[in-house]
Amino acid sequence: QVENLRNGVNQFYLLFGTALVFVMHGGFAMLAAGAIRSKNAVNILLQTLMDACASALMWYLIGFGFAFGIGDKPNPFIGDAMFALARVTTHNTGSGTGRWLDFVFQWAFCATAVTIPAGSVAERCNFNAYLCYSTFISAFLYPLVAHWVWCSKGWLGYGTLKPLLRCGMMDFAGSGVVHMLGGLSGLAGAVLLGPRMGRFDIENQPVPLPGHSAVLVVLGTVLLWFGWYGFNPVSTLFIDTAAAADVASRSAVTTTLAGAAGGVGCLIWTLLRTRTFDLYALCNGVLCGFVAVTAGCHVYEPWAAILCGSGAGIIFDLACILLIKLRIDDPLGAAPMHGGCGAYGVLFVGLLAKKEYIMQTYTRDGYPHGLFYGGGARLLACQVIGALTIAGWTLGVMFPFFWILKVRGLLRAPPEEELNGLDISR
């Protein structure tokens, strides 16, 4: 009876976390709708909701199997079972309730990765192209990375059975798996789409195209903040031991501090650069702090989380400046926020991951930890390899994918529709 109670507590915990993570979808929708012009708001809301629908179906059919399926001949690169949730081998047995919840919790993360690129391609992407890439990411691109890092049979993750360099890449809740992948997918789309009409003048100087609702941007930011308490702490996956409860609680603290520090850091940095207090800089900085701390929220001291978050806010602003100089138009700054700050967060783990906190989270033979704690460079090396692997995989696949859509005339909306607004496009 005690075991049943523990199982019930864990299942409710995971279900509650799933609901919190899915609330982030509403946050993305509000943030995106507010940060673009009103003539495109309905279109991006349609895209965001379609993300949830398309990713759920593809995750059910093949995505979950590619990510976490362990068949008779498992391999470290791609899953080979549980397609359409079929119990095809004894390797995937377990409590039915747990398997159902594992599916839906992991889908919520997949849906997050899929919706991130929308910010980079907003206001000029053809809706049919959007359906193509959201389906492709949820069915193939994301599941393989999730398998490498988070499946016990994967080759890259810290918690896998045979980790890279006897260490593996540590990415607790997805700075790399979710955010880097989503942000760099958006970057590939933004580069091949080109800038929005009127974004740069004839002298290649940037022309501001401000969003229509600061209220929606703030609402979206707060909803995302709320949802991140499911995204990070609930990534423990269970709560029935003192150690797991401690890890989840610490993750909530570090997540809070990193987001706050990111907001303040970005606001102050922007103030020094422009001499104005910028609401959008504050909102973006908060989210950048969350993105960066997601990889190591479970193994940081509070002061390290503050350092991580504040650095992310500055990196975001510098990355946005770089994109403008390169004439890459990213309306929401999704590539700098998720791609840039996600990569930064992955690397930061290799510096300040604390051994005692790692031992609380993982069961393994050795515990490589942060360079600045005397742990040597092995964890940092794995973090670098992991970041480069995710970047290479994402860009190497998504650039050709978007290029094919562009060649076939499917990538960009017609000029008249872009000019009049995609809300009335067909």
425 falls within a domain: no
Distance of alpha carbon 118 from alpha carbon 47, whole angstroms: 8
DSSP one-letter code for 195 = P
The mean of the pLDDT values for the chain is 94
Q: Mean of the pLDDT values across residues 277-300?
A: 98
Distance of alpha carbon 252 from alpha carbon 358, whole angstroms: 16
pLDDT, one tens digit per residue, over 14-30 is: 999 999 999 999 999 99
Q: What is the pLDDT of residue 363?
A: 82
Asked if residue 292 lies in contact with residue 387, where contact means CB atoms within 8 angstroms, the answer is: no
Q: Mean of the pLDDT values across residues 238-251?
A: 95
For residue 45, how far is the Cα from the chain centroid?
19
Q: Mean of the pLDDT values across residues 175-195?
A: 98
Q: Decide if pLDDT at 79 tops 70.
A: yes
pLDDT, one tens digit per residue, over 403-416 is: 999 999 999 999 99
Distance of alpha carbon 236 from alpha carbon 172, whole angstroms: 8
Q: Mean of the pLDDT values across residues 256-285?
A: 97
Residue 246 burial (C-beta neighbours within 10 Å; 0-12, 13-18, 19+): middle
Distance of alpha carbon 177 from alpha carbon 151, whole angstroms: 12
Can you tell me which residue has the tokens 């982030």? 24
Q: E strand or H helix at 150, and its extent?
A: helix 142-150
DSSP per residue over 43-90, as a string? HHHHHHHHHHHHHHHHIIIIIHHHHH---SS--SS---S-GGG---SG
Q: How far is CA 158 from CA 80, 337, 344, 374, in A?
A: 21, 24, 18, 18
Count CB neighbours of 171 within 10 A: 31
317 falls within a domain: yes
CATH code of 328's domain: 1.10.3430.10
Distance of alpha carbon 425 from alpha carbon 159, whole angstroms: 47
Can you tell me which residue has the tokens 């109670």? 5
171 falls within a domain: yes
2 falls within a domain: no
Global pTM reads 0.95
Q: List the domain range (segments joined by +) for residue 393.
A: 10-420
284 falls within a domain: yes
Structure tokens at 266: 């970005």
Q: What is the pLDDT of residue 426?
A: 53
200 falls within a domain: yes
- The span from the first CA to the last CA of the chain, in angstroms, equals 57
Q: What is the pLDDT of residue 98?
A: 56
20 falls within a domain: yes
200, β-bridge pairs: 206
4 falls within a domain: no
Q: Mean of the pLDDT values across residues 308-315?
A: 97
Residue 66: pLDDT band by 50, 70, 90 thresholds?
A: very high
pLDDT, one tens digit per residue, over 87-122 is: 644 455 444 445 688 999 999 999 999 999 999 999
* Number of domains making up the chain: 1
